[in-house]
Chains A and B, each alone.
Chain A
Amino acid sequence: MNVRKSRQLAAAVMVVGALTVTTACSSGNSNSGTKPEASKSKVAATAITVGTAADSVGPAIAEPGAKKGGTVTMIDRDDFSHLDPAQVYLNYNSEASLLFTRQLTGYKLQADGTSKLVGDLATDTGTTADGGKTWKFTLKDGVKWQDGTPITSADVKYSVERTFAPFIKSGPTYLQQWLTATDYRAAYPGPYEGKELDAIQTPDAKTVVFAFQDVHPDANFTVAMTGYGVVPKAQDTKEAYDKKPFSSGPYQIAEHVTDKSLDLVRNPNWDPATDPIRNAYPDKWHMEFGVQSQQSTERFIADNGADKTTFSFHNQVHPTFIDKVKNDAALKPRTLEGLTPYVDYYYMNNTRLKDQKVREALLRAFPHQQTRQLQGGTSYGDYATNYMSPTVLGYEANDMYDILKKPEGDPEAAKKLLAEAGATGQTIVYAYNNTPTQQKVTEAIRVGLEKAGFKFVPKPLDAKTYYDAIGLTNNEYDLYWGGWGADWPTGYTSLQPVWDGRAIADGASNYAHTNDEAINKMMDDAVKIADPIAQGKAWAAIDKELQKKAYSIPDVYQRSLSLYGSGLGGVKFDSLFGLQYPLNIYVK
């Protein structure tokens, strides 16, 4: 026995010795000087303010050192799924639309990095005399389409009317519901049958008045969504408009080859004096699709040829390269890091997990540190304690379940809670997206939960049908991952769509099936508060209530780590969408 052991050891040591020589080039990795728990930068919560009419006057705040000219390349994994404003709801579609679609209001990037809501096509962020039931917007002088015709209030009205059309399926639905009823498609069929929507009035060519059914104090944020961008009646090609929208912004589409490329050239009829948001430094934009994040990371690191003037809206640093990028001083000047508006949750299925003690046990047992490490560590996100993101107005941090103290999970405390509930050995069916990374994350969760005395049953789901499967109200899973980001940075869109019990339906975003009368009531009341600060407080209280009842497991506030080419200046991180921001980019 002994002899064999020592021989085996000797052989193994020899093999190792030989291999060490061959791989001498691979050195160890280190944590770039910071503790794993510490996050990189403090988040400026409530960074968004509402600007005045003076703030809404163009031109945009110039980028120091910027000059005009040149072509900027953008590489990304996927083509924009939609370009028709009414269909745009995804963040990277919105980010690209900034270059050719304008809305009534928009977010102006300040010199200090914060954002301010200002009038884009409108002279200011709108006025309301009755606490938010009717909103009046006045259009600026000199705003034009790409063919030189002026943008009128009739265009704005038409743009909202066409969001009711049956072929518009993927855009936001706030205005439609507020103007008519929850089942807005039954109330108004869209403008194509010749009917107009009376809830929107256009007293003259410059004025639009929205008359809502109820009070909506933050409607000025709603009309900043790309989904409510303008579309001209004369150029509306219905479904085909999605491929090549007509420009109101600084650039117009020259060519769009689906899933391959999109080329933009200057729009000669755009007047910078009317636009407080957009700088337009490059002459051309060339966008290429089909580049995976591993590929784009390698290209940005190599920084060769045309890649020098390249950036990426959505592709982040591939997780395996994170240490390399963070430790490379040469890459530091062209690395962007920031907090996105997304919060990742592990939704508990509240139709199956009815015992609060069991849910608390799950919360305490969950191995946040292990799962985060598998997905990129601190660059993946900050440990979340709340349901609302720190980027949302009114956010109040509180660590009710000691997640920050024990991010690796507290199996002892969980065990005790399970014993109290008399549910030791409780089966947890965990559904996951069957990818190599998620398989490993599932392994980490399995070990964490089994330590706490749960029986863990993993269920792999196909990536394509993942959301469909967990979206069924009668699904047979107890726990599943999902993320949510606010549509505009107030508590309403951050919490209501996900945690309002009346929003439970197949495919709806209330994946946790929480239906708490008290919370529903609190939401109804919070919406009606006119003062943004007081409203923020009300949403923070709802957030706290959700935490108290342990309805789900907030995992992380998502972060983003991305690179761009060395030949570009003014590339910034857009914390509203969590992407790279195109409007200040110039070629050096």
Chain B
Amino acid sequence: MTNPTKAPEADELGTADTLAPTDAASAPVFRGLSPGKLMWRRFLRDRTGVVSAAIVLLFILIAVCAPLISMIYGKDPGTHYGQEDVTLLTDSGLPTGPNGGISADFWFGVEPGLGRDVFMQLIYGMRTSLFIAFLTSVLTTALGVMIGIAAGYLGGKIDYFIGRVIDILMSFPSQIFLIATMPIVVSLLVASNESQPVWLPFVSVTIVLTLLGWMGLARILRATTLSLREREFIEAAKVTGASPLRIIFKELLPNLWTPILVQSTLALPAFVTAEAGLSYLGVGVGEPTPDWGRMIALAADYLRTDVTFLLFPGLAMVLFVLAFNLLGDSVRDAFDPKTKR
């Protein structure tokens, strides 16, 4: 679908500013573009990327504005509408209205059983997913950057040690490990006779996902750092007596932004699905916090009797993950047009 690999024309890349002939009045100086600007231009030309970015931004906007939407819409995610108004659900808890109870009052229908509003559940569930995914991405990126650069730059025993730790962690069957560790993390953090605080599942899911999510980036950065370490500008910095910290932050890091950005944009949708997967398996965020994975798990039971209920969380999830993945691809293409796919 995307078509970014067309060999770019020399002038299109901005060696001379031919795109603005009206500027001719001012001196026709040669105007170079920064790599950032180049990337931005390439990105704008990629229609798929732009559309994906718009969808992703829309999702983020909805998630951020969820309380506002709830205010305008007049409903909240916690109230059991179907149990307060007995006409909404049948005796065994299925929506009475057609199409999962979609009506002017309930835009996306009513949840079977508790009778909560599906629209509200969906956008508040998106908040849960995005919050955890963002937090995890930031943490894994930070961890990955630190460990990856340390391994690549310091080399030797440290590199060997980190490499083996990464090997061990990557050889874990992560899904099974996640299921096994979640209850332990929760029981470590909660006192025996107090209510489980609302933030706890967020924190524990984030911790578990982070622990098993940083290795990919670390490996890539280690490899890139290894090759950069031998380059002349690093040698020069060393000769002029720069401290290792200065070399890492001022010389190495600026050259690593491309893989870091690309990897973290691709990691985020993976964490969204991983979080949903955990909830689907019943070890993620629990009631009453709205959550996509749990919604989909519940809806799967109603596949034959209330298919509408699966439709909305399913579509939302597919759309979001697809858009974010395409965006990740476009970002990579924009940064690194030489990559053939």
- In the complex, identify which listed stretch (B97-105, B222-230, B262-270, B330-338) lies at the interface while the others stay far away: B97-105
Assembly CA distance A293 to B294 (angstroms): 20
- Interface class of chain A by DSSP: helix
Evaluate contact between A373 and B102: CB separation under 8 angstroms. Answer: no
A373 to B89, Cβ gap below 8 A? yes
Knowing A28-B97, A429-B193, say if A374 contacts B113 (CB, 8 Å): yes
Contacts of B183 in A (CB 8 A): 462
**Binding-face segment, B26-34, B151-159, B204-212, B305-313:** B305-313
Give the residue of A26, A367, A377, A443 whose beta carbon is less than 8 angstroms from that of B90: A377
Which residues B284-307 have CB closer than 8 A to chain A? 286-288, 294, 297-298, 301-302, 304-307
Establish whether residues A323 and B90, one from each chain, have CB atoms under 8 Å apart when the complex forms.
Answer: yes
Give the residues in chain B near A446, CB-CB below 8 Å.
288
The digit string for A271-307, where 1 denotes a CB below 8 A from any CB of B, is 0000000000000000000000010001000000000
Do A370 and B91 touch (CB < 8 A)? no
The answer to whether A31 touches B93 (Cβ under 8 A) is no
Interface centre among B95, B101, B193 (most CB of A within 10 A): B193
CB distance from A35 to the nearest CB of B (A): 9
Closest to A370 in B: B83
Q: Is A444 an interface residue (CB 8 A)?
A: yes
Closest to B115 in A: A373
Task: Decide if B95 touches A323 in the complex (CB within 8 Å).
Answer: no
Provide a sorted-by-A list of 26 A–B residue pairs whose CB atoms are within 8 angstroms: A16-B107, A19-B312, A22-B311, A24-B99, A26-B99, A26-B307, A28-B95, A29-B95, A30-B90, A36-B91, A320-B112, A320-B302, A320-B304, A323-B92, A323-B305, A367-B83, A370-B83, A373-B93, A374-B114, A377-B93, A444-B114, A447-B80, A457-B193, A458-B196, A460-B196, A462-B183
Q: Is B1 an interface residue (CB 8 A)?
A: no
With A19-B311, A321-B305: A28-B96 Cβ-Cβ less than 8 Å: yes
Question: Interface residues, chain B, CB within 8 Å of chain A?
Answer: 69, 72, 80, 83, 86, 89-102, 107-108, 112-114, 183, 192-196, 282, 286-288, 294, 297-298, 301-302, 304-308, 311-312
In the complex, are the beta carbons of B282 and A29 less than 8 A apart? Answer: no
| A434 touches B (CB below 8 Å) | yes
Q: A320-B301, A443-B114 are in contact. List 19 more A-B contacts (CB 8 A).
A: A16-B102, A16-B108, A23-B311, A25-B307, A28-B95, A29-B94, A31-B91, A31-B96, A321-B305, A322-B92, A323-B91, A323-B305, A367-B83, A373-B89, A376-B93, A378-B92, A456-B195, A457-B194, A460-B196
- CB nearest neighbor in B for A29: B94
Give B197 Cβ to nearest chain A Cβ, in Å: 11
Partner of A370, one of B80, B92, B286: B80
B122, chain A: closest CB distance, angstroms: 12
Question: Do A440 and B114 touch (CB < 8 A)?
Answer: yes
Given contacts A27-B98, A321-B305, contact A439 B286 (CB under 8 A): yes
Q: Mark A414-445, 1 if CB is under 8 A from B, else 0.
A: 00000000000000010000111001101110
* Alpha-carbon gap, A16 to B308, bound state (A): 11
Tally of contact residues, A, Cβ under 8 A? 55
Q: Is A269 an interface residue (CB 8 A)?
A: no
Q: Mark interface residues in A463-483 (1 if CB within 8 Å of B CB, else 0).
A: 000000000000010000000
Query: Is A20 a contact partner of B99 (Cβ separation < 8 A)?
Result: yes
Given A8-B72, A476-B192, is A436 in contact with B282 using a C-beta cutoff of 8 Å? yes
